[in-house]
Amino acid sequence: MEMTDSEKLLAEYVRENSDAAFGELVSRYLNLVYSTAFRLVSNDAHFAQDVTQAVFTDLARMAHTLSPNVMLGGWLHRHTCFVASKTMRAERRRRARETEASAMHSQHDHSANNFTEIAPVLDEAINQLGADDRAAVALRFFEQRDLRRTRSGLRERNNHTAQPGHSKKLNLNGHIRKLQKLELFFILPRAAACVIVSKGIVQS
């Protein structure tokens, strides 16, 4: 199977320690990582920036341990969930030690809209999806493929994972309908990503 552009860039970074290749990977996946982090840290831009920087720093450090065929968008999403969860646990412990500050934050929480409460659950739900549904989400939103290329990617994945001599039925239309319902949850204003780049918080 031919390598994707992301796989080629990752391989180049691992092989040559190429700043240009890593920078291109950051550019491709910055919006995914930041928007995921932003949802998981209750829409706090500062925490989202910290999580984003940590995720790409970890990618630079761990790149050589990843499989050459890794679906990088999926890996970055799951690692962002992990880093954001760890960050928020530390923040909750800090707030518990500062009773007055915790009370002030509680007031803000009560005035937040429903999406603020629901958004963190979105990423947890994605991680609990079945393998086929999770692959569909990763291809459409994390790898930024259009619906046609998402269908093609699901077919390739189905053929690759099927056991020899056995065909695996794939409900493509069902996966596409689910993806269309998720579209709005993955929209992030482009300006937010530009702020991160301009501040130089993502470094290899």
Distances from the Cα of 42 to the Cα of 34, 93, 164, 188, angstroms? 12, 16, 46, 14
Each of the 204 residues of the chain gets a pLDDT tens digit; together they read 567 888 899 999 999 999 999 999 999 999 999 999 999 998 999 999 999 999 999 999 999 999 888 899 999 999 999 999 999 999 888 887 776 555 555 544 544 455 555 566 667 777 777 777 777 777 777 777 777 887 777 778 777 665 555 555 556 566 566 655 555 455 444 444 444 444 443 433
Length of the chain: 204
Write the burial class of residue 57 (CB in 10 Å: 0-12 exposed, 13-18 middle, 19+ buried).
middle
CA distance 166 to 200: 50
pTM above 0.75, yes or no: no
DSSP string for 40-96 = HTTT-HHHHHHHHHHHHHHHHHHGGGS-TT--HHHHHHHHHHHHHHHHHHHHHHHHH
Tokens read off for 48: 């989202």
Which amino acid, residue 95? R
87-95 contact pairs (CB < 8 A, 24+)? 87/41, 87/47, 87/50, 87/51, 87/54, 88/40, 88/41, 88/42, 88/47, 91/47
Q: Contacts by 92-97 with C-beta closer than 8 Å and gap 24+?
A: none
The Cα–Cα gap between 186 and 204 comes to 25
